[in-house]
Chains A and B, each alone.
Chain A
Amino acid sequence: MSAATSTGARSTAADGVDVAGPTGDSPTAADVRRRRRGARLVDVVVLDGALCLAMLPLVPVYGVAAVVPPVAGGLVVGTLVALVAAARAWGAAVTTALVLLGYLLVGPTLAVPTASGGRLPSGDSVVLLLTGAVTVWKQVLTLDPTLGTTGNLLVAPLLLALVGSAVAVSGAARSRRGGPHGPRAAWSALVPVVVLGVSVVLATQETVAPVAAGVVLALLLLGWASWRVGTLAPRRPVALLLVVAALVGGGAAGGAWLGEQRPRLVLRDELVPPFDPRDQPSPLASFRRFVKDWGDDELLTVTGLPPGTPVRLATMDAFDGVVWDVAGAEAADGSGSYRRVGDTITSVPAGRTVEVAFEVERLPSVWLPTVGYARRFDFSGGLAGELAADLRYNDATGSAVLTSGVVPGARWTAEVVVPEVPDDEEIGDAPVADVRLPAAERVPDAVPVYAGDLAGTAATPVLVARSLEQGLAERGWFSHGLEGEAPSLSGHGAARLTTLLTGDLMVGDGEQYASAMALMAREMGLPSRVVMGFVPDDEDAADGSVAITGDDVEAWVEIAFVGHGWVPFHPTPDESKTPSDDVPQDESRPQPQVVQPPPPPVDPVRPPDDDTEQPRTEETDDDAREEDGLRRALLVAAAVSVPVALLLAPFVLVALAKRTRRRRRRRAGATVDRVVGGWEEMLDHARDLRRAVPASATRREAAVHLAGAFAGARRGAPAAERRGALGGRVARLASRADAMVFGPGDPSDADVEAYWAQVDETVRAMRGAVPWRQRVRARWSTASLRERRRARRLAARGRERGRQARRRRRDPRGARG
């Protein structure tokens, strides 16, 4: 640094902390250097410490062990580069290049340890580092934490630390402390704040001592900034203490209040993951197929399954009248949001942790068999890499999918948490949990009736659920509807459930009973969902491993209770409870194939009738009388009348245009033209009544067309009669017009008047033949006005074309001549 710098430092020394001493002696060069070094150390410690605090939210995203090396390394490299560049007074370009170099040198070790083999930069790791700088942000958001050291995900903390420290320290080191540019250094305090913002939006809802970290960060940065600006006054301890107390108190209270009030804004929650399970067919719809086609086939082998624990395949909470299905991906906390997962899944309920191994023989769907709630998946075998990349997990339901389908031979081990199933006493009178579920649509009418019947006088939610479960299990009969069993259709749409609940014999299997119970539970206000999976027979388990066949498929219902999570209910009657001969014969006769009724027709979209657009005026004259009544009334009148006038203007214009047109047709021109005008007036009325006549029709053809068009207008009188009455009128109009227009001589004025009278009569008859809504609409319709403009344009174009054609024909002759 130059001598000018030291002079500046000296001249304003009295303002700063490093007071030169009251003696006024010039400090020696060694003193200045020492002091400057001390100040630089303070800068570095404060800024790097603040950056560390700012990146605390990333800890739950990566895990402590994973995130510390890149953050620490990044801070060290960034700080060193900044200090060296500042000391050498290198420009911004050189500094940036140095930062990049440092990034490439330490990056492989710190940010892509798994890919680089952990040591020296290689081509692969450099590519990963460079692409990571762009892609990592999206990946961090879309992968479910904890991310660990997978891929190049650690590029994010490394970059934040490296760039943050380089910018902050450079800013601080390059300004002359206390000099004319001294206060500028304080801007460096903003860098940790920006980094904090980035970290928070990249992070999860999980926080790490947010209040304490925030208060410490604020204290550090404020203190440092004021010291750099030169306003720190260590000799005013009261004021300092007051500021500290205010910060700590405000931070603690405000932080706690904010934390309670609303969840933190993190980008992760705003993302819509791309895999949409709605693209897949409903898993429950293939229930019967498992029994029928793969009844004895070995589908998968599960090792380490705790006894009595079902294997879950899919969890569905949306009923649309035809099938139970998973909700769409847009339902953030529903069954439909499947995300990629990192090393482990943190959001699991409490329960027993076990390790379960799966091996798939054949399972043709995307749904991955799971047990309880998974904590981690470890795929093995040749396809492990692809399968891990395809894995999507839904933490609300604990179900998982492989986006490209579960392939035969897939093997994996899952560390899962099996929640305890509480019994009714444990649940007691716990209320149902407040879970957002998609509303069930087109629920058959029989469901609420039957639900009310079954629930009876049950007092607590769990007892209601239990009575539904037991009621179905007791009243129903079991059948898969296979050969040799009682007839039972597959499917669980509204029609099938109506048959189940109202038919002579309640017969079905898990598909129908679970669907019915889930809908009944919804009707009783219980948040329910249908789970499809496998319940293997316990005796099948040989040395801890159980082979699951299609016969093991089962569907059941889960209902959420506060404090107990989702509790399963099994409403399906026992498999041995089949309808037998003691059931009256006629009840087991085969049902005809019932096709699912098509959804009710959507109400036709009707354009709003023009006349319904009456202005809505507010009643505002309540207190108009009290003060200055006249003025207010006038104001209100003006305020109301202007919009009213604007609203009415189109109607007035249409009416005016039609009246003008009619008058011109009736009065202007030769008598023949007035007759033609009368006919056109009638056609325009028909057009406004939405019964336009094609342009290429002659008058008689138009008459036939109109007779047909108006015959279908109103129900009531027989069609032939109406067609006869109106058709005759229009036909007479057509032939009279033809006679006067194409016949010899000109019609008299009396003829014209008589004709117009006939036209008016016919128009009245036409309007009378249509419903009143059409009449009203026709009055304000602009169809005829628009058509006339179009016809004029067409005619003009036709004339122009004719002129051009004539000119073309003349020209070559002229050329020859």
Chain B
Amino acid sequence: MTPEQSTWFAETFDVLVGNVGRAVLGKEHVVRLALTAMLAEGHLLLEDAPGTGKTSLAKALAATVQGSHSRIQFTPDLLPSDVTGVTIYDQKAGVFEFHEGPVFASVVLADEINRASPKTQSALLEVMEESRVTVDRVSRPVGRPFMVIATMNPIEQAGTYRLPEAQLDRFLIKTSIGYPDHDSTIEILSASAERDRTLHLGARVTTRAVAEMADLAATVHTDESVLDYVARLAQATREDPQTALGVSVRGALALVRCAKVWAASQGRVYVIPDDVKLLAEPVLAHRMILDTEAEFAGVTQRQVLGRILAATRPPAARVPDA
């Protein structure tokens, strides 16, 4: 990645942020996180209370990218075939024909994912990890880019199923939006006539450009000391007395991928420990499982991770050649 390329990357990234930001006011950091997930070719999980703009963000993100996007509203009676597609016998032609389900799109918005039964949720698993759907022993790729933006209500709410850990691990970033600040709220309220802010958003970038940016971000230089830092963090989550299950290698890998995109979005051609530190919580927190005692004590993953971050010394120099 050359400095010119990094400048282009950062400028494009800022354009996208600005575009999405028109729909989701005052939440630039969340928008940046969401775009980071997209450019790292991962999936995004938004958990928040109803009415905080989860769906708006997802729709705005989809609208910003030129390309197909679809939306699945998850309900308890949703079936796996409603997600992946179904093979139907064409009587006229006398052949079985596959009708693609809503997952065959560049950006898939899985709204209220934890309202569906675990079986249906699991139907997303293969697509999310391998970008392909296998129905009736035929495997079909979903294309590139492919991104699932899932929203969910906090698990304590009525009518929700808990997402299985395996699926949680497949989301690159999990974050929440939170309520807007005072000024943004006033702005939203003043345009109350506008039903859907995402309607007027135009596509700013082609799917090809997104793929290019993703390829470019993968070339960001990551010093060994930074990798060492990520490894130490992951190790610390596994050794912490309050965790039952720490961060997997997939999690550590995800952190590095995100850090690269984040660095490129700042116009840098190298990752610094700050990137890792900043992304650790949205990338790692949802992958940790606390032990029962800590859960009873009301400790959250964020707290444990915060403690680990404070205790793990970030690198200041390169790893000495040994």
Contact = CB atoms under 8 A, between A and B. Distances in A.
Contacts of A695: 313
B221 A743 contact: yes
B309 interface: yes
Interface residues of B, number: 21
A587 B223 CA distance: 82
Contacts of B312: 696
A698 B270 contact: no
B66 interface: no
Interface in B293-319: 309-314, 316-318
A695 B268 CA distance: 25
A748 to B, nearest CB: 16
B317 A698 contact: no
A676 B317 CA distance: 6
B9 to A, nearest CB: 16
13 contacts: A679-B316, A680-B316, A696-B310, A697-B314, A698-B274, A699-B272, A700-B272, A738-B270, A741-B225, A742-B226, A742-B272, A743-B223, A744-B221
Contacts of A700: 272, 274
B277 interface: yes
A676 B312 CA distance: 19
B207 to A, nearest CB: 29
Interface of B: 221, 223, 225-226, 268-274, 277, 309-314, 316-318
A672 B270 CA distance: 15
Given A696-B309, A696-B310, A741-B223, A673 B317 contact: yes
A796 interface: no
Contacts of A696: 309-314
Contacts of B268: 739, 743
A31 interface: no
A701 B223 contact: no
A406 to B, nearest CB: 55
A676 B314 CA distance: 13
Interface string A681-714: 0000000000000011111110000000000000
A679 to B, nearest CB: 7
A739 B274 contact: no
A135 B213 CA distance: 96
Interface centre among A738, A739, A742 (most CB of B within 10 A): A742
Contacts of A673: 317-318
Nearest to B314: A698
Contacts, number: 54
A698 B310 contact: no
Given A679-B316, A698-B274, A744 B311 contact: no
A698 B310 CA distance: 11
A742 B225 contact: yes
B269 A742 contact: no
A334 B310 CA distance: 60
Contacts of A738: 270, 272, 274
Given A701-B274, A738-B274, 14 more contacts: A672-B318, A696-B312, A697-B314, A698-B277, A698-B314, A699-B273, A700-B274, A741-B225, A742-B223, A742-B270, A742-B271, A742-B272, A743-B223, A743-B269
B3 to A, nearest CB: 11
Contacts of A699: 272-274, 316
Best-surrounded residue of A672, A680, A695, A698 (most CB of chain B within 10 A): A698
B318 to A, nearest CB: 5
Contacts of B221: 742-744
Contacts of A680: 316
Nearest to A694: B310
Contacts of A701: 274
A223 to B, nearest CB: 89
A672 B317 CA distance: 8
A744 B316 contact: no
Contacts of B223: 741-743
Nearest to B225: A742
Q: Identify the 5 closest CB pairs spanning chains A and B, nearest first.
A: A743-B270, A676-B317, A744-B221, A742-B223, A738-B272
Contact of B272 (A672, A676, A698, A744): A698
Contacts of B269: 743-744
Contacts of B272: 698-700, 738, 742
Contacts of B225: 741-742
Contact of A741 (B274, B277, B310, B317): B317
A445 B309 CA distance: 59
A430 B317 CA distance: 86
Contacts of B274: 698-701, 738
Of the candidates A680, A739, A741, the one having the most CB atoms from chain B within 10 angstroms of its own CB is A741
A55 B71 CA distance: 114
Nearest to A696: B310
Nearest to B1: A744
Contacts of A739: 268, 270
Nearest to A699: B316
Interface string A636-679: 00000000000000000000000000000000000011001001
Contacts of B311: 696
A808 to B, nearest CB: 12
Nearest to A737: B316
A741 B277 CA distance: 17
B279 to A, nearest CB: 13
Among B223, B269, B311, B312, max chain A CB count under 10 A is at B223
Contacts of A679: 316
Contacts of B317: 672-673, 676, 741
A744 B277 CA distance: 20
A247 to B, nearest CB: 86
A741 B318 contact: yes
Contacts of A744: 221, 269-270
A698 B314 CA distance: 6
Nearest to A683: B316
Contacts of B314: 696-698
Contacts of B270: 738-739, 742-744
A697 B272 CA distance: 13
A688 B274 CA distance: 25
B27 to A, nearest CB: 22
A742 B274 CA distance: 11
A738 B314 CA distance: 12
A450 to B, nearest CB: 60
Contacts of A742: 221, 223, 225-226, 270-273
Nearest to A700: B274
Nearest to B310: A696
Nearest to B312: A696
Nearest to A697: B314
Contacts of B313: 695-696
Given A696-B309, A696-B311, A741 B316 contact: yes
Contacts of B271: 742
B98 to A, nearest CB: 47
Contacts of A743: 221, 223, 268-270
A739 B314 CA distance: 15
A673 B316 CA distance: 10
A679 B317 CA distance: 10
Contacts of A697: 314
A561 B309 CA distance: 77
A126 B81 CA distance: 106
A595 to B, nearest CB: 40
Nearest to A701: B274
A198 B239 CA distance: 73
Contacts of A676: 316-317
Contacts of B316: 676, 679-680, 699, 741
B312 to A, nearest CB: 7
A693 to B, nearest CB: 11
A741 B222 CA distance: 11
Nearest to A745: B221
A39 to B, nearest CB: 92
Contacts of B318: 672-673, 741
Given A673-B317, A741-B317, A742-B223, A698 B309 contact: no
A790 B120 CA distance: 56
